[in-house]
Amino acid sequence: MSNLKEVLTIGRYFREKFGETIYKVPISISGFTCPNIDGTVARGGCSFCENDSFSPNLQEKKSKFKLNPRVEKNPYLDNQLKQLQLQFEATKQRLQNKFGAKKFIVYFQSFTNTYAPIETLKALYSRALSFENVIGLSIGTRTDCVTEEILDYLVELSKDKEIWVEYGIQSFYDETLEEINRGDSSSNMKYWIQRTKQKGLNVCGHLIYGLPGETQEMMLDTFEQTVKLNVDSIKFHPLYVVKNTLLTAQFKKGKFTPISEDLYIDTVVKSIKNLPNNISIQRVTAGIDDNTLLSPLWCKNKHQQIFKIREALLKEGFIY
């Protein structure tokens, strides 16, 4: 067993750095949206994104107020700060009860969490960092929704906190980005990832395997390009089809066939085999176990996928 190579998971990275397990607390703040949904760069969002445009039920539940950087006043800020606190406390309690968790990173997960006026961002981020036993933030966003001002503010925070910026890359092929209605370009993504890294911030890149028209060669090429940008961490996702998305219609018309489980696992394993020692892995797959999943059905059971990926890696001499 001694010649097996250990994959640097984000859990191992945090344990090495902080001497204990750090738990991410995912947060979803209402009012946040995306320039790809509100018409700034496109409408409808990315083809795989479930959003208000496709689901009238979602609109009833959510506030009509939507943030963007040009909003002069945010009348919902107090409400958003309350949401942040309630969600954090509830998840923290659960993690403490289940795992004896002691230290946390607040993960702003849903939609684009820098797509708001800087004052709103400062209020939310500083409040999150003020919670007891929070050692840092992880902020999910897009590369067309960061500015020098936002990054400089995060650099300030990073002087005594663990700050991560999570960028949805998905693919570095412009024809794919166009196909999925991404509203961003590979050159813009590379520019802002490099700027974020130049400022000394931690970057996690999200990649989707199985995008329309992509071969395994293209997926692995996007992975290689991501590695060359010196990101600190990577998340892998398979593309699955849920109800109420642009992709739903393409799938139902037979214009899109999801990636097979075997091809997905093989692509992830090939990627991890070529991963430099200093880049951690935050996720090897994703799934959804509810009635919104249309295809592929193997995405229903995330734990089974992780087991299969772990087994496949073991055969290649890696412990995940």
- Please name the residue ranges forming H helices in the chain: 10-18, 56-61, 77-99, 118-130, 148-157, 174-179, 186-198, 216-228, 246-252, 261-273, 302-315
Half-sphere exposure at residue 316, Cβ-oriented, CA atoms within 13 angstroms: 20
Tokens representing residue 16 in the block: 């090495």
User: Is the dihedral angle over the CA atoms 309, 312, 316, 318 positive or is it negative?
Assistant: positive
Q: pLDDT over 70 for what percent of the chain? A: 95
Burial class (CB in 10 A: 0-12, 13-18, 19+), 47: buried
Question: What is the structure's pLDDT at 311?
Answer: 97
Specify the pTM: 0.93
The tens digit of pLDDT for each residue in 14-28 reads 999 999 999 999 999
pLDDT for 55 beyond 60:
no
The tens digit of pLDDT for each residue in 101-130 reads 999 999 999 889 998 999 999 999 999 999
The one-letter amino acid code at 181 reads N
pLDDT for 58 beyond 80:
no
Band the pLDDT of 2: cuts 50, 70, 90. Answer: low
The tens digit of pLDDT for each residue in 240-263 reads 999 888 889 889 999 999 999 999
Tokens 């642009």 belong to 246
Tokens representing residue 186 in the block: 């590979």
The tens digit of pLDDT for each residue in 204-220 reads 999 999 999 999 999 99
C-alpha distances out from residue 127 to 10, 56, 137, Å: 24, 32, 11
Phi, psi at 58, each rounded to 5°: -60, -35
pLDDT for 81 beyond 60:
yes
Burial class (CB in 10 A: 0-12, 13-18, 19+), 283: middle
The one-letter amino acid code at 267 reads T
Cα(242)–Cα(251) distance, rounded to whole angstroms? 10
Cα(85)–Cα(132) distance, rounded to whole angstroms? 11
| Structural contact between residues 140 and 166, judged by C-beta atoms closer than 8 angstroms | yes
pLDDT for 61 beyond 70:
no
Cα(79)–Cα(253) distance, rounded to whole angstroms? 42
| Structural contact between residues 234 and 202, judged by C-beta atoms closer than 8 angstroms | no
